Every structure is written in C-alpha cells, then in structure tokens.
Amino acid sequence: MEKTIQPRKLFVASCLALLVTSLSFGIRAGTMNNLMVQFHLDAKQMGLIAGTAFWGFPLAIVIGGMIVDLVGMKRLLLLAFFLHLVGIVFTVFSFGFFSLYISTLFIGIANGLVEASCNPLVTSIYPENKTTKLNHFHFWFPAGIVIGTLVSFGFAKIDLNWQWQVATMLIPTFIYGYLFFKLDFPVTERVSSGVSTKEMYKAVLSPLFIFLFICMLGTAITELFTNQWVGVLLQNVTSSAILVLALVAAVQAAARSVAGPVVHRISPSGLLLFSAIISTIGIYMLGTTSGGMLFVAAIIFGIGVAYFWPTMLGFVSENIPKSGALGINLLGGAGMFAVSIYMFFMGGYYDNLISAVLPAGANIDTYRSAAAGTPEAAKYASAQLQAGPQVIKATNIIPLVLVFAFLFLYFYMRSKKKKAVSMPVIDATA
C-alpha cells in the first residue's frame, strides 16, 4: 500500500510531542522548591533528579540518531509516547528521591526520542526551508515552558498540589500519541538522498562538526541550565522568580515565531554570534539586578538564547548535510549531557554557598524546611539571596567564551563563501 505523507499533520503532531517535552521542563522548574521541601532533598539531590532528564535525553537522542534510519521515525515516536505516559504517571505517584529519579529518567529518555525523531522528520518534510522550520518547530519548547510555568504558578495560587500540575501533561501526550499512530512517515533525508553510512560517519568527524559539537555544550548550558534553575536561584531576589522564567520563554517563543525573516536577513553564523553577545549581557544582568530590572534582564536573556538551539541544528543540517539525522542528534545529545553534568556540580556549588552563610555545622534541610517567620527560615532566605546570583554570575563565563568562538565561525564562513564565489566556473561544453 502506497504511503500518503501529510507534512502539515506530521508537523503539528511533532509540535505537540515537543510541547510535552517543554511542559516537563517548565513544570519541573516550577515545582522544584516544593519537591525539595516535601521530600527533604538538598540542592545537590535536586540537581541529580533534574539532571537525570538531561542525561536521559542524550542517551536516547544519540542512540536514536544512530538507529532512526534503520527502525524508522514512527517506531521511535511511539516508544516516546509510552515512556512519557509511564514517566508522568510515576512522577505523580512518587514517594521520594529514588522514585522521582526513575520517573524523571523515563521522561528524559522520551524527550530525547522526540528530538531524535522529530528533528530529522522536520528536515525531511521541509528540505528547502530547514533552519526556518526547525525554528518554528522549536517555538514549542519555550511556548511549552510558558504554559508549564503559568500552570505551576496558577495551580499553586489555588492550592492545587504539584501532582495536579504534572498530570496536565497527559493531555497533549495522548493527542500526539494518537496522531503519530495514525499517520504515515517518510524515510529520513539521508536515506532518500542515498548518502551511505560511511559518508555519514565521515561527516560527523569533520573539523567543522567537531567545532560545533564543542560549541553546543556551551549554548545548551547557557540556555537550559539558567532556565531550569532560575526559580530556585532567584527565589529570594524576587517574589515572582517563576514568572521570570515564563517571560524568558515567552520572548524565546516570540523570537522563534518570526525566525523566517530573521534567518533570511542574518546568516546562521551571524545569528549565533549575535545570540552569544546578547546572552552574555542577559545573564550578567540576571545575576546583578533585582526588582523590576530582573524582568528587563529576562527579556534580554530571552532574545539572546532564542535562536541558539534550532540555529545550531539548522547550521549543521545545511552545511554538513551528509551528517544526516546522526549529526543533529549528536549535537542535541551533547548539549543535554553537558547540562546534566553542569547541574550536578552547580547544585553542589549552590549548597556550599548556602552552608558558608549558615552557622557552622548547620543542617541545610532544617533551615530549608523551617516554617515561615522563624529565625531559621529568615537565615535561609538571606543565604539564598546571596547564593543564587553567585551561581548565575559563575555561569556567565560560558556565553562570553562563545562570543569569541562564534566570531571565529562568522569570519570562517564569510571567507568560505568568498572563495566559493571567486572560483571560476568551468564551461562543460568547452
């Protein structure tokens, strides 16, 4: 039976799958403080749990990138649906560190499978407009964070517990699972173009790909670590820390929605350089300002990180096309793995900063769980006020390094383009 490929419906289903991924991110950011108090977790343990979603993601996206050409995108996405379903239900019924760790791992693996399949799916159904359509697809990541953080904020205001917040993710999960089950899928772009597996692996070992692979470690940490921890790090700098995250995500979503004109006016390498410069300014402001200026900082930071992830993937797909699905998935996996490692170490660094302010030998959990209005609660709030911005300022070195890396990339691509233009055209009829 001949397949009937419906690009628009496949794109809508892909966006819904990514929405679940981003909802898990936004809702987790909004519930981290509640989880730390309810299950008596310190920041290092919470970093391990949150980081699980980030190393489960690269595990799935890298393996998925290696086998997606062989098993097909549809099978991987149906597996993602199953793991999302199990992970969400397990999270709702969690009873402590171990159960939260396992359920978050399931969700992280599902998130990775979504990216491993949907990124090559988007480039396969829109081969002439890859970077723009990847930006439109990744619009749903910050959009989902906005929805997730507002759900978290709103449910908290009406005293619905964090379990109800997590359960809301089941709605888009069932919808995207149903759509993918019904729809036919194309083969990946690499398979359709006849690029061999040997050529694909050779492409991902090229100097340009390795350079971008390293840069992706920094772009992912700049965007995702800051977003995931902002609710904790700025908890006592502003009474609306979670709304800072929502504003960042809203700016990202707005920027990605107009990606077409931006990508056509600015080269991808120029866009990456611009993003690194603005991100550096934004993170600096997040770590040094307070009150209303934090929302100005959030807008600047949101503009800075808006194009990082999809433009990195689009750049590889357009400039190293033989790398195929493996190339863009290796890039995504590297970014998420870097975030998981960084979260672990920065969670410990945050705990150490808190301990340095508390009395010698004090139990952090005692102070964290202290009732509002007690001396212990006041002391912990004061410690957070100092520690959070310190972690943000320490992170600012990463986008600063990226400024110089992308400056090099910008001039390299310009010189490469000039050489291509200046090469004489050989008349085949001569």
pLDDT tens digits, 112-121: 899 888 988 9
Residue 321 is given by DSSP the state: G
Number of domains into which the chain is organized: 1
338 within domain boundaries: yes
Q: What is the pTM of this model?
A: 0.75
Average pLDDT for residues 112-132, to the nearest whole number?
85
Predicted confidence at residue 270, as pLDDT, reads 92
Which of 95-99, 241-245, 265-269 is predicted least confidently? 241-245
pLDDT at position 278 over 60: yes
Residue 265 domain-assigned (yes or no): yes
Q: What pLDDT sits at residue 381?
A: 78
Residue 213 lies in a domain: yes
pLDDT of residue 237: 60
CB 428: neighbour CB atoms within 10 A? Answer: 5
For residues 25-52, give the mean pLDDT.
Answer: 77
- Residue 348 is part of a domain; what is its CATH number? 1.20.1250.20
Average predicted confidence (pLDDT) for the chain: 84
Per residue in 373-386, pLDDT (tens digit) is 788 888 877 887 77
What domain range includes position 117?
7-410
Helical packing angle, 308-319 and 324-357, nearest 10°: 150
> Is 58's pLDDT higher than 50?
yes
Within 10 Å of residue 376's Cβ, how many Cβ atoms? 18
Q: CA 418 → CA 207, 392, 395, 411, 412, distances in Å?
A: 20, 40, 36, 11, 10
**Any domain includes 419:** no
Q: Does the residue 417 lie in any domain?
A: no
Kindly report the backbone phi and psi dihedral angles of residue 37, in degrees, each rounded to the nearest multiple of 5, phi listed first. -75, -50
The count of residues in the chain is 430
Inter-residue contact 352 to 45 (CB < 8 Å)? no
- Which residue, chain included where needed, has tokens 């998130």? 111
Say yes or no to pLDDT of 321 above 90.
no
Q: Is 108 helix (H, G, I), strand (E, B) or coil?
A: helix
